[in-house]
Amino acid sequence: MEILGIDIGGSGIKGAPVDVDTGLLLAERYRIPTPQPSTPEAVADTVAEIVKHFKWKRRIGCTFPAVIKKGVAYSAANVDESWIGMNGEKLIKRKTRCPVVLLNDADAAGLAEMTFGVGRGKSGVVFVLTFGTGIGSALFIDGRLVPNTELGHLEIRGKDAEWRASDRAREDKGLNWKKWAACVDEYLRHVEKLFSPDLFIIGGGVSKKHKKFLPLLTVRAKVVPARLLNDAGIVGAALAAKAIA
C-alpha cells in the first residue's frame, strides 16, 4: 500500500510517497521551507503544494510538532501559537481534498523506528528522541506508544531542555560536538532518572552525525542512532494513516 507521508517541522515541510509494507520511500523527498509566520493557513497551503507536487489524491499522513488529540493541536512547539486549539486535521483535509491523519511528529518518527528501524522487536521501555529544531520524544512500553510525551520541554536548570540540547541550540550557540554532547548527556540523564529506559534511539537531522557525539555520552541505558534518520517522520506519518483508516 502506498500512502503520502508529510513531515511538518519548524524549519521545513517535506514529504514523499511511502510503501507502508516495507517503509521505503517511493520517490525523492520534496521539501519546502516552513512559511514564516507559520500560521495554520500558511502551513496547510504549503502541505497542499507538496500534495500537488506528487499529484496525490489519496490518503495522507501528516506529522506536526505539537500535542495532537483527535486532529486538534493542544500546543505549538516551534510554530505559530495560533495553532493552539486548531483542528489541523480538518484544515489540511480541506486544503488538500484528501483523507488526512495528523499526529505528533516525534510519535510518527518513533512508529517508523519501532516498525522498520532499530527498535523493531524491542521490549521494555524505549525512547525515540529526535534532535533538530527542537527535541521530540516518543515513549514505547513493550512496543506500545504512549502518545504526546513532548519531553523536549522538560525543565533543566530553569529552561526547556530543547533550548540547551537541540541541534538548533548547538548551531545557534556555536557549540563544538564535545560541548553539545555534554548538554545532550545532561538531558538524557534527566530522562533516565525519571523513566529508567532500556534503550534510547537518537533520530532527527543530527543522527547522521552520530559518531561525533554518541561515544561521548555517559548514560547507563544503551544509546543507538536511528536507522531511518531524517526520513522517519515521513514513514511514520504514512504508517499512522494506514493504521487508522
| Separation between Cα atoms, residue 149 and residue 129, nearest integer Å | 11
pLDDT score at 245: 52
Containing domain of residue 209, as a range?
122-226
Number of domains comprising the chain: 2
Decide if 115 is inside a domain.
no
pLDDT score at 243: 78
Residues 6+ away with beta carbon under 8 Å from 215 = none
We report the CATH number of the domain holding residue 71 as 3.30.420.40
Decide if 49 is inside a domain.
yes
**Are 19 and 92 within one domain?**
yes
- What does the chain come to in residues? 245
Q: 103 - beta bridge partners?
A: 63
Residue 156: is it exposed, middle or buried by C-beta count within 10 angstroms (0-12/13-18/19+)? middle
pLDDT score at 205: 80
**Are 64 and 154 within one domain?**
no
pLDDT in tens, the chain (245 residues): 999 999 998 889 999 999 999 999 999 999 999 999 999 999 999 999 999 999 999 999 999 999 999 999 999 988 999 999 999 999 999 999 999 999 999 999 999 999 999 999 999 999 999 998 889 999 999 999 999 999 999 999 999 999 999 999 999 999 999 999 999 999 999 999 999 999 999 998 898 899 999 999 999 999 999 999 889 999 999 999 997 65
**Are 159 and 199 within one domain?**
yes
**Are 57 and 134 within one domain?**
no
Decide if 48 is inside a domain.
yes
**Are 98 and 6 within one domain?**
yes
pLDDT score at 229: 84
Decide if 145 is inside a domain.
yes
Decide if 98 is inside a domain.
yes
**Are 132 and 203 within one domain?**
yes
Decide if 11 is inside a domain.
yes
pLDDT score at 165: 97
**Are 8 and 96 within one domain?**
yes
Decide if 159 is inside a domain.
yes
**Are 192 and 166 within one domain?**
yes
Decide if 117 is inside a domain.
no
Amino acid at 143: G
| Separation between Cα atoms, residue 191 and residue 67, nearest integer Å | 19
Signed CA dihedral, 228, 229, 230, 233: sign only? positive
**Are 80 and 44 within one domain?**
yes
pLDDT score at 204: 85
**How far lies 111's CA from each of 42, 84, 126, in Å?**
27, 24, 12
**Are 156 and 193 within one domain?**
yes
**Are 213 and 240 within one domain?**
no
**Are 128 and 72 within one domain?**
no
